[in-house]
Homo-oligomer: A and B are copies of this chain.
């Protein structure tokens, strides 16, 4: 056994060495690239946007679910493909091989099967939550980001009217968010598919969709060239462009589509659907200028079978689509033999926020959620706490400043946090039963009877 004195010295040396080491090399606390994290002011702005979206979803009858961040790897791999599969974060612990979700649609498709007997269909669910993609870090690319999703899932069948209402939801969301002019672009997969069927080139559907998807980026000549490289003839290319280049107002687009006179059942069904979706969407107070039938949109994902949506902010063309989705015939085909058709939308919330951050569309200088800072000039806090109790019971978020700092430091604290009112408690105030209240935005200071303080603040 080591004698205590030596043990003690040894301890002191070790302890100081540890201290020295800690001082010399502190751990890197910078947040990891691709994992956004905000200051409280920005967080509040973000949460406000999230809340507007969430409340709008609720207003349209969507209810929340909250699936785990992790899924069995086989669940995710059954649905992921190509790039997405490479980006899955996997974990290993215990018996199950788990991975982090890369979207909210795959977890929904699993959830609906798992809870089938407890759900009432059509099932309208919302989920606003983080998803994970292990991309190489670069500006504007996130590895953890929020998606705000809604889906309506039918049991066996689902009315096309739901597709129309989805336009109404997007319209409500972007009207309320107030990020300037927006346009909801709608198409229907069956229209292009019908044409390709008519042209007898359905085996090239994937390539055609992929090329049309990037038409805006690469331009027409390049797109035509690529189509040619895939063995599509000049005449076929001409037919495809005749379709996707149809322009004009929505009624004109529908007229031109009809006049193409394509005798294909799928095409006709697609035409009927998009006409119905357009006519009914307008009923949800969607203005013509905010809705555009646009046959150029294709949506990369191959599970869409009918209506497809993209949404653009006119003043922010670089953002691309901020809200996309569509109709799918078979949500959970990999997990069940039940047919569960659905229509869904997803808003890329984190990306949207981060791009708008640099504009003046998001207000970071908002008044604090904390309405009142109480400052006590005396040691006995009973009067200050009683005042806080009263305000809090009336749902006025209140903070008491407890630190012993000079009054100007305390006022500065309220100012830094954008707290609108400071209530000052001192001997005079207690004797007179009147509180000094200072409005930091106007600079005005007055004395108010304690019984009137709640109504005074609520009025402001």
Contacts and interface: CB of A to CB of B under 8 A. Distances in A.
B402 A32 contact: no
Contacts of A284: 385, 388-389
B29 A280 contact: no
A438 to B, nearest CB: 17
Contact of A40 (B125, B134, B137, B398): B125
Contacts of A158: 403
A416 interface: yes
Interface in A343-394: 368-370, 381-382, 385-386, 388-389, 392
A47 interface: yes
B94 A137 contact: yes
Interface stretch (A112-120, A242-250, A321-329): A112-120
Interface stretch (A66-74, A231-239, A451-459): A66-74
A272 B439 CA distance: 37
Interface string A88-126: 011101101010100000000011011100111010110
A353 to B, nearest CB: 12
A63 interface: yes
Interface string A72-92: 101100100000000001110
B65 A43 contact: yes
B382 A26 contact: no
Interface stretch (A187-195, A211-219, A304-312, A333-341): A333-341
Nearest to A337: B23
A228 interface: no
A27 interface: yes
Contacts of A125: 40
Contact of A381 (B47, B130, B280, B395): B280
A205 interface: no
A397 B61 contact: yes
Given A283-B386, A398-B61, A43 B29 contact: no
A57 to B, nearest CB: 9
A285 interface: yes
B27 A120 contact: no
A417 B120 contact: yes
Contacts of A369: 58, 63
Interface stretch (A159-167, A253-261, A295-303, A420-428): A159-167
A154 interface: yes
Contact of A39 (B22, B100, B115, B334): B115
Nearest to A155: B403
A414 B32 CA distance: 47
Contact of A68 (B23, B32, B40, B60): B32
A400 interface: yes
Contacts of A385: 168, 280, 283-284
Contacts of A37: 65-68, 111, 114
A158 to B, nearest CB: 7
A316 interface: no
Nearest to A41: B118
A334 B144 contact: no
A35 interface: yes
A93 B26 contact: no
A284 to B, nearest CB: 6
A145 to B, nearest CB: 10
A383 B458 CA distance: 39
Nearest to A334: B27
A337 B389 contact: no
B397 A335 contact: no
A397 B59 contact: yes
Given A120-B416, A337-B23, A43 B64 contact: yes
A413 interface: yes
A300 B351 CA distance: 41
Interface in A1-35: 22-23, 26-32, 35
Residue of A35, A78, A413, A416 with most partner-chain B CB within 10 A: A35
Contacts of A119: 39-40
B161 A402 contact: yes
B98 A392 contact: no
Contacts of A38: 65-66
Given A26-B336, A35-B70, A60-B392, 6 more contacts: A29-B75, A29-B113, A40-B64, A43-B64, A69-B69, A91-B100
